[in-house]
Structure 1
Amino acid sequence: MQNRRKFFKAAVLGAAAFSLDGVGKTAAAASKAYVKGGAKKPIVLSTWDFGLAANEAAWKVLKTGGRALDAVEQGVMVAESDPKNHSVGFSGYPDRDGRVTLDACIMDEHANIGSVAALEHVTHAISVARRVMEKTPHVMLVGDGALQFALEQGFKKENLLTPESEKAWKEWLKTSEYKPIMNIETQSYDTNGTTAFNPLMLPGNVYNHDTIGMVAMDANGNLSGACTTSGMAFKMHGRVGDSPIIGAGLFVDNEIGAATSTGVGEEVIRIVGSHLVVELMRQGYSPEAACKEATMRIVKRDPAKAKAIQIGFLALNKKGEHGAYCLHPGFSYACCTGDDKNVLIKGKNYFQ
């Protein structure tokens, strides 16, 4: 009990939290271990401010006794459908050839996995990834093959490049320089998770990218996770980051916990980041400590590069404890637990 109390106290520090109706909350309510009378309660976590709206959809599944796998799929689909979210799904910023390509993966409590990469013309890449998991003997489909499979499965082919994204791409072509604005995701959403005007996201500026990663535990204590993105804005055509790679952008071990990552995927892949976080939790690290150690691996490998990029890890263990850690200030994660409490928590960071 004493250790749990210490965990609750530590989790409050540095945490900013907001409820869905805008009423301020403390992060303490989101940081408790979800064990009562021997039965684990549901919990869902997701990256960035836009995770609040995603969590709301996921919670509708969890609070009625639904499976964590269904919850994470339904949750991230909210971000994939949002035309104001230019880093995930529909309206994602295109590559330098003007093509919107999506990456996603999903993993359940039985270590079943599915993934798609460089998928075009289908908004819900996460659902295609789930079909790969459930309908094929494979774990990953890419490019034209992924699209062919999606269409065979009944997914609708559509144009994902919206006028706003196209305009931004054409402005970028004037200089063709890639200089990401760090943590722009946190400036695009207000504290309730709804889209808001962002003066930085105007044609002529260069935009960062990011991912929604989500991990959840259902009423049965089973874990699942999902990760989906449109990748780096104006990337080279064919570039794939960590988001669709099991072990890098996402990993679930139903005996230990689950983790997901966000930020510059190339550096996460180098350390197989999400798998590393879960393995550290297996060794006894708390979720936050495991995320911190993974982040430090990136700093130690290339300190100069680490100063110029953002990477964050988010983790949930089997007890329902959770935590995050990132390179730079600005990363936050959304947490939804019992009584429909959905709050935003600031991740701790290495560089000040």
Structure 2
Amino acid sequence: MITAEMKSEYYQALLDKNSEYEGVFFVGVKTTGVFCRPTCPARKPKFINCEFFDHAKQALLASFRPCQRCRPLSHPNHVSELVRLLVNAVEENPEQRWTENDFQRLSVDAATARRQFKKRFGMTFVEYARARRMGIALKEIREGKAVIDAQLSTGYESSSGFRDAFSRIMGAAPTLLGDHQVLKASWLDTRLGPMIAIADEEALYLLEFIDRRGLEREVERLRQRTKSAIIPGSTAPIRSIERELEEYFDGGRTQFATPLFLCGSPFQRMVWEHLQTIPPGHTSSYSDVAAAIGKPSAFRAVAQANGANQLAIVIPCHRVINSNGDLGGYGGGLSRKRWLLHHEKETSHLL
């Protein structure tokens, strides 16, 4: 049931186009007869003309029709045809250096491509294509190919330009990478908004909502701690967690089997391992967790370890709340934490 307090909260989220509320609610506009997602770009209605729903189906049953601007029945991060076209073009020839003529050949406006890629991936199309080229260069260097050959194959005539571009993306000059590993980063669409997954071929290192504050710093710390290059791509653990998240949001899964790499201190790993024992549909307080790991006075350190978790949902830090019953904090936003707890309470008894 959506309370009066939640309606006020949802209306403010609607005014702010707050992406943290994607999938949490839908709003029906009585004056137009349409229903929208929270981030709809259309002019905002007055509060008195809004009716809020937990699911799109409820809005349809209330005789609202889907908005043509935000398309609430499609995926909240549906890939545009332009983005799909350009991603496919890069995969067909990942070593290509794009020019204005290439965009014209595909009847694509370069400025539109830049804008849509920035919104979708957090980088421009040129940056995306460059990252793919650099990924190939890194692979060639690790396989023993000379740096100059990798430089030329990615289209750089200047060695200094190649080094600079390589360092900006990979975090180290090509000759300094040594035995550093490669992590792949992939965008995952979920019911509650897009997430980023980072993994190698063996385990998942990071899973976070794209709009989490400080995500860039998280990724940079991961890169430094693991001494890795992080490039766009997919691996078996990423494909596994994408499938498992879909099952989780559909209500068909409460436990995850994707292998995890816990990048933290021994104390943090102890906390994270315990979090995975909290049953879906249940919560624990920070004090409960501290007592369970044999350190009853370390509840503040538990809270810090909880906040340092880089594997959202999979390591269920959202199941830890304050002793007084308040939700406490959550890096993905309290609206998502509330939704996750409600979702697990509703679905855990069905499995």
- TM-score (structure 2 length as normaliser): 0.30
Highest CA radius of gyration, 1 or 2?
2
Q: Normalized per residue, which structure has more helix?
A: 2
Q: Normalized per residue, which structure has more strand?
A: 1
- TM-score (structure 1 length as normaliser): 0.30
